[in-house]
Amino acid sequence: MNDTSISLLKQALPYLRHHRKSTMVVKLGGEIAANREALTSLAGDVSLLVHVGIRIVLVHGGGPQATEMQKRLGLEPVMVGGRRVTDEATLDVAKMIFAGKINTDILSALRGQGVSAVGLSGVDGDILHATKRPPTEVVDPATGERKVVDYGLVGDITRVDTSLVALLLEHKYVPVISSLASDADGNVLNVNADTVASALAKDLQASKLVILTGVPGLLRDKNDPSSLVTRITTEEAKAAMKSGSVAGGMLPKLKALVDAVEGGVGRGHILSGTQPGAILLELFTSAGCGTLIAEPHDVSEVSDGAPRQ
């Protein structure tokens, strides 16, 4: 071990102490689950977190894989505001890809790193109840254009029950939850995974909601990866959503994080899921590596060099 590693370990110690026994919800985008190297690396990071006593709940969707399978089956994917329009055939794809392939791939990657994980969807154990979203008027933040969109078999969460999740955490399992829910009649609905992660984090009153995605964090200019916003308040995040600087899949992420932090979750983070060790850097070093979202009074205390815990 060289001096840098020793200094990093020492730097991490207060954060390790701070986070012990806390619960964190970590959402990973499909891009990470599709990338074997990134998934193995993330599983190693989760293993470390679990072994220092942090309770981790993983949530995933699988947009890119669902899109790829849709195309393979001759279906045309339709996305509006970062959310998938879901007909019967698309829902079948979502069930196969989210609850089937991706969930299993994540479980096996975790097992490979010594983590006992249990695969679930929001349909298991009454975790997520949703109602079918009625046709909704959507405003394009870039053009201001309004249109009515029927998202099809897409759900809005009405109730969350984390008893089963808590039971698994109590017994040191890592629940891995895919973004499907069902309504009162047992119809399965597709829910955006960022929204699922937020609802679970709120119900568990998690200390953190961490969203791992394909970009380094929230970008001031979505085409410039070097324009990373390192910290933002919930109020600023709401303004950014209206400004047109945030588009596509980043919109539900910011909304999910704002809802979570306003709903009692300690802090929110958006990080690159493909940068090795991103989650450890963000949690255990003062500089961090992604975007931190917190209440205004909290974020103002997080100046450069101050803890991002």
Closer by beta carbon to Mg ion, 216 or else 249: 249
Residues 6+ apart with CB under 8 A from 175: 57, 58, 117, 118, 120, 164, 165, 168, 169
Buried b / exposed e along 274-289 (16+ C-beta atoms within 10 A): bbeebbbbbbbbeebb
Rounded to whole angstroms, how far apart are CA atoms 297 and 261?
12
Q: Residue 163 burial by CB count (10 A; 0-12/13-18/19+): exposed, middle or buried?
A: exposed
Q: Quick one: which of 249, 268, 273, 288 contacts Mg ion (CB under 5 A)?
A: 249
Q: Quick one: which of 29, 152, 266, 288 contacts ligand ADP (CB under 6 A)?
A: 29
Q: By Cβ distance, which residue is nearest to ligand ADP?
A: 249
Closer by beta carbon to ligand ADP, 165 or else 210: 210
Q: Quick one: which of 44, 63, 122, 288 contacts ligand ADP (CB under 6 A)?
A: 63
The answer to the question of residue 222 lying near ligand ADP (CB under 6 A) is yes
Secondary structure (DSSP) of 211-271: EEESSSS-BSSTT-TT-B--EEEHHHHHHHHHHTSS-TTHHHHHHHHHHHHHTT-SEEEEE
What's the closest the beta carbon of residue 84 comes to Mg ion, in angstroms?
9
Closer by beta carbon to Mg ion, 44 or else 122: 122
The answer to the question of residue 215 lying near ligand ADP (CB under 6 A) is yes
Residue whose pair of structure tokens reads 């895919």 in the numeric block: 178
What's the closest the beta carbon of residue 214 comes to ligand ADP, in angstroms?
5
What's the closest the beta carbon of residue 198 comes to ligand ADP, in angstroms?
13
Number of residues that bind ligand ADP (CB under 6 A): 17
The answer to the question of residue 152 lying near ligand ADP (CB under 6 A) is no
Contact set with ligand ADP (CB under 6 A)? 29-31, 63, 82, 213-215, 218-219, 222, 245-250
Q: Which residues bind Mg ion (CB under 5 A)?
A: 249
